[in-house]
Amino acid sequence: MSVKEKRELLYKSIDEIAALYRSKEVSPVEVTEATLELQAELEPKLNAFITVMGEEALQQSREAEGVFAKGETVGKLFGIPVSMKDIFMTKGIKTTMASRILKDYVPTEDSYLYNALKAAGSIVFGKANLLEFAYGAVHPDYGQCNNPWDTNRTAGGSSNGSASSVAAGIGFASIGTDTGGSIRLPSSFCGIVGLKPSYDTVSRQGLFHLSHSLDHIGPLTRTVRDNAIVLESISSRKVNYDSVFTGSIKGVKIGVIRSLTESIIHPEVSELVNSAIRQLTDLGAEVIEVEIPGIDTALEIAFPILLSEGSYHHKAWYPERAGDYAEGTVMNIKEGFNVSAVSYVEALEKKRAFAEKIDAMFERVDALVCPTSPSPATERDPSFEDTTYDFTQRTIPFNISGNPAITVSAGNTASQNLPVGIQFIGRRLDEATIYRIADAYQTSTGGFRRPPL
């Protein structure tokens, strides 16, 4: 098989690769080798990985090849190369959180997530780069992860290595975390599909928390259907999405969140998002405008929770090791210690009330829609101190409410050929509906577009 043919394999869907495995036209060894070769070639440009488990992955691929040779029945993710954000515990394998604090840390136990991926038979080949501790800054020891659409721009944060690598064809999926948009924003920047499932859909055991009240774990993939396959394998509750993908959204009622959509000031983002909304109507959906009181100030609810819980999880190292953090990270940790207990409890009460307000919206609609990000990929990572754009304004409300939210590409800007994301939000525990809508939309627009690497 030529290098070009091997590269083509890396952009196929999970179902397509699984079918090739079953027919014995392609081996898990060939696909894993191609994945590792592409990772090594692109790593200097992307800086997407902290740890690559090449030998372990090749051994797993040889074992998977033997299973397919015997014709055994296996799950959908069996033999599929995937990666994970370097924030999940992996026994005997470094888990750094992209921080000097834990640069040599080797856990003694596996996370739920890693165990779930292994149980599904997937080939976990690498641990992806991220913002330090999934907080608001790149640690200089690890460096910015770059965007495959323009390597002079960021892949976003904090699940940046996951988004960049999947968009580039390095692995068929990656697992990230999302506390305020950290799956959806880099997915939007890189032109892929990123799902933040309902709160606690994927167990957080063995995850290093940023904010345990807001943290979600979810998959980043190139297609919506691939995303559903991965979620089936890692979900803590039994789910199956085989019947979801009908291709039709006729009669589905979708509410456009007016304030989050009309407030976009970037003209190309606004144009692409509004075009995507019109496409939903063309596909047969009933699209209406809705208002959600208080959604524009959701950050005021989230920050006392995120900052105080974030500082709690760093109390073992701060202030003694303050100098080992990135500047932006330590600023946030310091600020969290200044949040009063009263402010924290008040924010939790407001969080519950806001979730009820979002729940009430689903008495009128089947799903909500809004832009994912106010702009395409920036040159550097957005931070809490960045006042130019509020990058989490359209994502963090649904961390507060715990609703599932998925981003899919709405197309690329004409001026710079950078992806723009559109986000669908569903009822709690109803990933199926937003999968159905996002898949119908993605299919109608021609599917995943490859970056020009």
Q: What CATH number is associated with residue 223?
A: 3.90.1300.10
- Least Cα distance to 85 among 50, 61, 117 occurs for 50
Residue 330 lies in a domain: no
Q: Which domain holds residue 201?
A: 3-298+342-444
Residue 15 lies in a domain: yes
Q: Looking at residue 381, what is its pLDDT?
A: 79
Q: Which amino acid is present at 223?
A: T
How many domains would you assign to the chain?
Answer: 1
**CA R_g for the chain:** 21
As a whole number of angstroms, the distance between CA 276 and CA 82 comes to: 30
Q: Looking at residue 380, what is its pLDDT?
A: 87
Q: Which two tokens stand for residue 23?
A: 């027919």
State the distance between the two ends of the chain, measured CA to CA, in whole angstroms.
Answer: 21
Q: Tell me the H-state helices in 120-247.
A: 160-168, 184-190, 224-234
Active site residues: 85, 158, 182
Residue 115 lies in a domain: yes
As a whole number of angstroms, the distance between CA 225 and CA 223 comes to: 5
Residue 262 lies in a domain: yes
Q: Are 110 and 91 in contact (CB under 8 A)?
A: yes
Evaluated on CA atoms 295, 409, 425, 203, the torsion sign reads: negative
Residue 314 lies in a domain: no
Record the pTM: 0.98
Q: Tens digit of pLDDT per residue, the chain (453 long)?
A: 788 898 999 999 999 999 999 999 999 999 999 999 999 999 999 999 999 999 999 999 999 999 999 999 999 999 999 999 999 999 999 999 999 999 999 999 999 999 999 999 999 999 999 999 999 899 999 999 999 999 999 999 999 999 999 999 999 999 999 999 999 999 999 999 999 999 999 999 999 999 999 999 999 999 999 999 999 999 999 999 999 999 999 999 999 999 999 999 999 999 999 999 999 999 999 999 999 999 999 999 999 999 999 999 999 999 999 999 999 999 999 999 999 999 999 999 999 999 999 999 999 999 999 999 999 999 987 665 554 458 999 999 999 999 999 999 999 999 999 999 999 999 999 999 999 999 999 999 999 999 998
- 382: which DSSP letter? -
Residue 310 lies in a domain: no
Q: Looking at residue 387, what is its pLDDT?
A: 47
Beta bridge partners of 175: 84, 219
- Least Cα distance to 370 among 397, 404, 394, 400 occurs for 394
Residue 10 lies in a domain: yes
Evaluated on CA atoms 195, 200, 205, 208, the torsion sign reads: positive
Q: Looking at residue 78, what is its pLDDT?
A: 98
Residue 332 lies in a domain: no
